[in-house]
């Protein structure tokens, strides 16, 4: 049995003949791998059941590349915070208005898609950053991979800028795609100092939210 914890973002996906035909974006729940966008800007999805090995930093599948590309799906699996709920957080607490509890499990939100108000796919949540001094969620780290000239950079988005779309079970960020070309971002090997006041003010200014930080000795909220 494959340990899905070993399937990481940016791992190459190779066919049974060892040729790479895709790259992992992230795990979509426990049974599906979301692949990074191809040259046409399309995400694809493959089931974990195809995977035979994760050795050598590669995800190897049980079929030739041409067959895999005929059989992969362009439609994401129906996954929500409820589907990702492996510990029963929401069991018996969901209603038509969304999750019953106002407090939600962070792990169930990772990988959730983020769209703008024009119903355009912006990316997904890669990580959630906590302010350890206050216990507050400070930022969601998003990948806007494949958008315009952004490549696969990461972006810290103030949590207050994201709104939970209960109907579509995803997040909404009210920022135009074109404007994201100027969003302050970073790559995975060079994370910013998120406690730095200057950096924080720049990020909050871009997304139109009020900066706060327990490290500054005060809160704007």
Residue 90 in domain: no
- Split into its structural domains, the chain has a count of 2
8 or 112: whose pLDDT is higher?
Answer: 8
Residue 61 in domain: yes
Joined tokens for residue 6:
């070993």
Residue 83 in domain: no
51-53 and 154-158 as β-strands: parallel, antiparallel, unpaired?
Answer: unpaired
Please, what is the average pLDDT of the chain? 85
Compute how many other C-beta atoms are within 10 angstroms of the C-beta atom of residue 120.
12
Residue 130: give the domain boundaries: 110-216
Residue with tokens 């795609």: 177
Across the beta sheet with 51-53, what order do the strands follow?
Answer: 44-47, 32-35, 20-28, 12-14, 59-61, 51-53
Same domain, 66 and 138: no
Write out pLDDT tens, residues 24-33.
999 887 789 9
The residue out of 71, 87, 121 marking a domain boundary is 71
Same domain, 45 and 115: no
Residue 96 in domain: no
Residue 9 in domain: yes
Is residue 220 scored above 70 in pLDDT? no
pLDDT band at 149 (very low <50, low <70, confident <90, very high): very low
Q: Which of 160, 183, 162, 159 is nearest to 172 (CA)?
A: 162
Position 148 scores a pLDDT of 40
Q: State the Cα–Cα distance between residues 81 and 90, nearest whole angstrom.
A: 9
Is residue 219 scored above 50 in pLDDT? no
Q: What is the DSSP string of 164-190?
A: EETTTTEEEE---TGGGGGS--B-TTS
Same domain, 115 and 60: no
Same domain, 146 and 199: yes
For residue 208, give the CATH number of its domain. 2.30.30.240
pTM: 0.61
Q: Which of 43, 72, 74, 23 is nearest to 146 (CA)?
A: 43
Same domain, 62 and 119: no
Position 21 scores a pLDDT of 97
Residue 26 in domain: yes
Position 212 scores a pLDDT of 65
């Amino acid at each position: 049995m494959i340990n899905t914890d070993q399937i990481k973002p940016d791992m190459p996906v190779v066919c049974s003949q060892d040729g790479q035909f895709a790259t992992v974006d992230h795990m979509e729940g426990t049974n599906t791998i979301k692949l990074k966008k191809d040259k046409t800007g399309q995400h694809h999805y493959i089931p974990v059941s195809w995977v035979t090995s994760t050795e050598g930093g590669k995800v190897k599948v049980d079929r030739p590349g041409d067959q895999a590309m005929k059989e992969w799906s362009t439609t994401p699996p129906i996954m929500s915070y409820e589907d990702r709920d492996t510990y029963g957080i929401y069991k018996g607490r969901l209603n038509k208005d969304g999750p019953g509890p106002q407090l939600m499990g962070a792990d169930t939100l990772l990988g959730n898609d983020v769209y703008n108000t024009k119903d355009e796919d912006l990316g997904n949540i890669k990580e959630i950053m906590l302010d350890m001094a206050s216990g507050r969620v400070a930022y969601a780290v998003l990948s806007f991979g494949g958008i315009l000239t952004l490549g696969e950079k990461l972006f810290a988005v103030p949590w207050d800028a994201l709104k939970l779309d209960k109907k579509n079970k995803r997040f909404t960020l009210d920022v135009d795609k074109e404007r994201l070309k100027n969003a302050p971002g970073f790559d995975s090997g060079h994370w910013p100092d998120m406690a730095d006041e200057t950096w924080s003010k720049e990020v909050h200014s871009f997304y139109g939210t009020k900066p706060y930080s327990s490290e500054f000795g005060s809160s704007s909220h």
